[in-house]
Amino acid sequence: MSGTSKKIMSIDNMRVGKNYFIKNHGETTSFSVLATSGVNDFKIKDLLSLEIYQFGRLIEFGIGEDFELYEI
């Protein structure tokens, strides 16, 4: 293992105002949580494209075997 250790976290632990990295089904992105919007769904802002959309869009096809979620 390298000197950095990241802990994969649960969607339940995401919080408004925090930034996260996600990997799911081979896709990766970093985002900021802007607001909650229902149970385990959030309004998020992509930190690369600056697009605003629902977190559910990132997991609409389920949680893949490669799922990773980290606070950054």
- Look at residue 3 and tell me whether its pLDDT is greater than 80: no
- Using 50, 70 and 90 to split pLDDT, how confident is the model at 54? very high
Average pLDDT over residues 39-58: 93
Average pLDDT value for the chain? 89
What does pTM read for this prediction? Answer: 0.84
- Using 50, 70 and 90 to split pLDDT, how confident is the model at 6? low
Whose tokens are 């909650």? That residue is: 36
Instruction: Label residue 58 left, alpha or beta by phi (over 0 means left) and psi (-120 to 50 means alpha).
Output: alpha
Q: Which two tokens stand for residue 71?
A: 């606070």
Cα-Cα-Cα-Cα dihedral sign, residues 48, 71, 67, 41: negative
Which pLDDT score, from 0 to 100, does residue 5 have? Answer: 52
